[in-house]
Amino acid sequence: MHAAEGGHAAVARLLLDCGAPWNVLSPSGLSAGDLASDDTYDLLLDHALRSELILGTVARRQNSDGPPAENYLESRVSFSEERVMDAESKAVMMAWERPLMEAHARAVCQGGKVLNIGFGMDLVDEAIQRYEPEEHTIVEAHPEVYARMLKLGWGEKKNVRIVFGRWQDVMPQLESYDGIFFDTYGEYYEDMRPGGIYSYFNGLCGDNAFFHVVYCQLVAMELANLGYSTQFIPLPVKDCVTE
């Protein structure tokens, strides 16, 4: 951190090459990248991206035996006004994300058929409904979230089609769409038809400015490998947090 802050690029490079982690946080939650000078910022960003690309590839290979969310789908979830929590009290979805979900709905609702994967707290689905799509398909895999969808009346909406199951398993029941929003839990990117719009919530490290830059660029690079171009839409986080 001192090397980054002081602009000592050669020292910072040596430390990183010797295995110093790029993502250690100070007691106040700052990383070397948050403190970096113009001379060390790009160095740290480049190192962080390379590390995460390699670690991501290794993790995906290790997980190829089974989907990471399998246990989550078999465990209990709890609901409150503010959040949906998994059995380990980790937040699956939180109410403060509403403005983000509204922005995603705006991006994917350009007319025609819309697909949302992951119902959560129904924030994005409520927003999608306001655009009155021709058809609004929702895929949800958790039995308790699915039961809550029905209780809230989502099964009776005229333009809504609910598909219960993991998106990986129900793909044959899906069609092609004009807009897809994908926001599951503990999963990864998806495909869609050429020319369509793909919007997703990138919640990786939103509470550390440098980490967020790293993961935004990482996602853009990985999507570029799949043939996608990426556009990030900045939103005023302060408004989300104070909601």
The residues binding ligand SAM (CB under 6 A) are 69, 92-93, 101, 117-124, 139-142, 145, 166-168, 183-185, 187
Give me the least distance between CB of 75 and ligand SAM, in Å please.
Answer: 11
Closer by beta carbon to ligand SAM, 137 or else 184: 184
Give me the least distance between CB of 93 and ligand SAM, in Å please.
Answer: 4
Give me the least distance between CB of 121 and ligand SAM, in Å please.
Answer: 4
* Backbone φ, ψ for residue 140 (5° rounding): -140, 135
User: How many angstroms separate the Cα of 206 from the Cα of each of 12, 104, 142, 216, 238?
Assistant: 25, 17, 25, 10, 12
Q: Which two three-digit tokens encode residue 175?
A: 């069609």
Q: How far apart are CA 197 and CA 128, in angstroms?
A: 14
What's the full length of the chain, in residues?
A: 243
Closer by beta carbon to ligand SAM, 99 or else 196: 99
Which residue, 132, 124, 103, is CA-closest to 140?
124
Alpha helices in 63-122 (DSSP H): 70-74, 98-108
Give me the least distance between CB of 105 and ligand SAM, in Å please.
Answer: 9
Closer by beta carbon to ligand SAM, 98 or else 212: 98
| Residue 142 amino acid letter | H
Task: List CB contacts of 105: < 8 A, sequence separation 6 or more.
Answer: 124, 127, 128, 130, 131, 181
Closer by beta carbon to ligand SAM, 36 or else 139: 139
Q: How far apart are CA 150 and CA 152, in angstroms?
A: 5
Give me the least distance between CB of 117 and ligand SAM, in Å please.
Answer: 5
Give me the least distance between CB of 170 and ligand SAM, in Å please.
Answer: 8
Closer by beta carbon to ligand SAM, 49 or else 107: 107
- Residue with the CB atom nearest ligand SAM in the bound state: 120
Q: How far apart are CA 132 and CA 114, in angstroms?
A: 10
Give me the least distance between CB of 21 and ligand SAM, in Å please.
Answer: 28
Q: How far apart are CA 115 and CA 180, in angstroms?
A: 5
User: How many angstroms separate the Cα of 142 from the Cα of each of 69, 119, 164, 242?
Assistant: 10, 9, 8, 29
Closer by beta carbon to ligand SAM, 15 or else 117: 117
Closer by beta carbon to ligand SAM, 139 or else 160: 139
